[in-house]
Structure 1
Amino acid sequence: MIREDTLKKYPKLKGIINELGEKITEKDMAEMTQVDLDKQDPRDVAREFLKKKGFIK
């Protein structure tokens, strides 16, 4: 899910990514992968997901 060199640079990401992994359902993934088909900005899709799940405001 994340590159090893990124984890080495930002070791705190591992816990955050693991926590997110437990929150993402198959339906969530299907909705987020729709970004490719709809030509949406992936950052906008990710931000909306994090808001919906209560990770950010």
Structure 2
Amino acid sequence: MSEKKELRGYVSPELNRLFRAVVALKDKNLSDTIAEALEDWLNKPENQELIKKHNLGK
């Protein structure tokens, strides 16, 4: 298992409530779901373009 780092941020109370509710309804792990959301965001074409442009790949 790879080392994991803590990431902090702030969201609105409504987004927090909805996210936690859906994660619980799907019986998923909160941290894994946040990581999945971040990966999806990073895979957007505009973000992939920046990653490639600045050689930020894995």
Which is helix-richer, 1 or 2?
A: 1
TM-score normalised by length of structure 1: 0.38
**Structure 2 length normalisation: TM-score?**
0.38
Larger Rg over CA atoms: 2
